[in-house]
Amino acid sequence: MLTIDKFDFAGKKVFVRVDFNVPLDDKFNITDDTRIRAALPTLKKIVADGGALIIASHLGRPKGATDKFSLKHILPQVSKLLGVAIEFADDCMGEATAKKCAALKAGEVLLLENLRFYAEEEGKARGLADDASDDAKAAAKKAIKESQKEFTKTLASYANVYVNDAFGTAHRAHASTALIADYFDAEHKLFGFLMQKEIDAVEKVMKDTARPFTAIMGGSKVSSKIDIIENLLGKVDNLIIVGGMSFTFSKALGGNIGSSLCEEDKLDLALELLEKAKKNNVKLLIAEDAKIANSFSNDAESKFADADNIENGWLGLDIGPKAEAEFAEVIKNSKTILWNGPAGVFEFSNFAHGSLVLAEAIVAATEKGAFSLVGGGDSVACVNKFGFADKVSYVSTGGGALLEFIEGKELPGIKAIRGY
Ligand code: AMP
């Protein structure tokens, strides 16, 4: 398979799908440009090689063309970070855009307008009334799939090389993230640096695993992490369950959890997962103690209690010192670590200590040679908050895409290029 480090883009016209879905304030200032920075190595390499670069992305969830979601707002920052002037095409379709793409020369860069201004990008019909008949829905679905083919073909016609560097959307079979790859042969489609790094990191954890392998799953809900936990139970040596979701397990085991977060309809499932862990020889660890509060607030009265003996009216908002010590020990002795989800309500300074202790243990294990992957929204926010982002092996940029990849699902954006 082609790899970007060895590919020479000189004289090539390159369509790069990036994920520039950055947050903007109400004056259209970018409040966090991490996603743009993450794509820079790929974009810089193409320009430096002497390729003509066409950049395409989505921004937000527009229902049609609207100024609010125009990529023109991010053009100055992309241009500044890339260090070259960038031309803008105010439509990703149309004759004028096709001409701009055709005229683009070596070393020049063109940014296309938001791909999601067209329903064809996602391939989902828009504007259907909620009470539309099944026939009308089926007809609309058929029509959008047909016009999606034309849309995809047009995007593909702009270039002779396709690069996908949008890991954040790799779990979507959209026109520009997956379908477009069919218009390029194996010698003319490849992953960008970011995409390659994300794939390598996940495969190092899930396939090329150094043992012991410890996964730490936290956050608020078991329901959003069931598939991951199930898949991990076939791979890990230790599974540490923390955060709000641990109380569903404590309750399932007969504990009193007071007013802590609990998904009553997932109690049986928690028991099944515990059973599966036993069968697979996986050590499933649930916090022995908790830091409890008398309300969901940073200023609440707080104290430590056994996690299975929480008084009514009190709720667990963090793990306690016994759990911190036990989990830190397991983490420090691990060779592969995956962290998804905080140990407590880390946004409240009084309930962030458990997450900090876990993060410190991950950093210590990494210093001793372990491979640590941190990913999925809030654990990334945690390592950033504690200033540890460059002290773990890899911090993923993907939310949903990362989670689906760890669940063991095939990601359309990856399969479209390498075939699996
Ligand atoms: P998730 O989006 O499922 O990964 O959950 C992340 C959120 O879980 C964060 O905003 C945390 O504040 C929250 N969280 C972690 N521990 C608890 C807890 N014990 N009770 C309530 N929320 C929690």
The pLDDT of residue 378 is 87
Q: Active-site residue 400, yes or no?
A: yes
- Compute CA distances 175 → 124, 139, 248, 404, 420, whole Å: 11, 20, 40, 19, 18
The pLDDT of residue 130 is 86
Q: Active-site residue 377, yes or no?
A: yes
Mean pLDDT, rounded, for 279-298: 98
The pLDDT of residue 158 is 98
Q: Active-site residue 251, yes or no?
A: no
Of the candidates 122, 9, 134, 102, the residue with the CA atom closest to the CA atom of residue 62: 122
Tell me the best of 216, 217, 220 to mutate to test the pocket of ligand 1, counting ligand atoms within 8 Å of each CB and taking the most: 220
Tell me the best of 338, 350, 378, 406 to mutate to test the pocket of ligand 1, counting ligand atoms within 8 Å of each CB and taking the most: 378
> How many angstroms separate the alpha carbon of residue 251 from the centre of ligand 1?
17
Mean of per-residue pLDDT scores for the chain: 96
The yes-or-no verdict on residue 389 having pLDDT over 80 is yes
Q: Tens digits of per-residue pLDDT, 56-93?
A: 999 999 999 999 999 999 999 999 999 999 999 999 99
The pLDDT of residue 184 is 98
The pLDDT of residue 183 is 98
Q: Tens digits of per-residue pLDDT, 176-198?
A: 999 999 999 999 999 999 999 99
Mean pLDDT, rounded, for 274-297: 98
The yes-or-no verdict on residue 360 having pLDDT over 80 is yes
Cβ contact 201:228 at 8 Å: no
The pLDDT of residue 399 is 85
Q: Tens digits of per-residue pLDDT, 236-277?
A: 999 999 999 999 999 999 999 999 999 999 999 999 999 999
Atom of ligand 1 minimally distant from the CA of 246 = 19
219 within ligand 1 shell (Cβ under 6 A): yes
Tokens 């996940």 correspond to what residue?
A: 202
Backbone CA torsion sign across 77, 373, 163, 401? negative
Q: Which residue pairs from 136-143 have beta carbons closer than 8 angstroms and sit at least 24 positions apart in sequence?
A: none
Say which range, 61-65, 224-228, 317-321, has the weakest mean pLDDT: 224-228
Catalytic residue among 50, 107, 400, 408: 400
- Compute CA distances 406 → 230, 249, 364, whole Å: 10, 22, 24
The pLDDT of residue 221 is 87
Of the candidates 127, 5, 124, 115, the residue with the CA atom closest to the CA atom of residue 54: 115
Atom of ligand 1 minimally distant from the CA of 317 = 19
Distance between CA atoms of residues 362 and 374, nearest Å:
9
Of the candidates 212, 224, 228, 276, the residue with the CA atom closest to the CA atom of residue 248: 224
> How many angstroms separate the alpha carbon of residue 341 from the centre of ligand 1?
7
Distance between CA atoms of residues 117 and 377, nearest Å:
26
> How many angstroms separate the alpha carbon of residue 74 from the centre of ligand 1?
32
257 within ligand 1 shell (Cβ under 6 A): no
> How many angstroms separate the alpha carbon of residue 364 from the centre of ligand 1?
24
pTM of the model: 0.91
C-alpha dihedral over 111, 180, 20, 8, to 10 degrees?
-70
% of the chain exceeding 70 in pLDDT: 100
> How many angstroms separate the alpha carbon of residue 221 from the centre of ligand 1?
8
Q: Tens digits of per-residue pLDDT, 196-219?
A: 999 999 999 999 999 999 999 998
Q: Which residues of 21-49 are buried (b: 16+ CB within 10 A; e: fewer)?
A: bbebeeeeebeebebbebbbbbbbbbbeb
Residues in the chain: 420
Q: Tens digits of per-residue pLDDT, 111-164?
A: 999 999 999 999 999 988 889 999 999 999 999 999 999 999 999 999 999 999
Neighbouring C-beta atoms of residue 128, cutoff 10 Å = 14
> How many angstroms separate the alpha carbon of residue 342 from the centre of ligand 1?
7
Q: Active-site residue 35, yes or no?
A: yes
Tell me the best of 345, 374, 379 to mutate to test the pocket of ligand 1, counting ligand atoms within 8 Å of each CB and taking the most: 345
Cβ contact 50:11 at 8 Å: yes
The pLDDT of residue 4 is 98
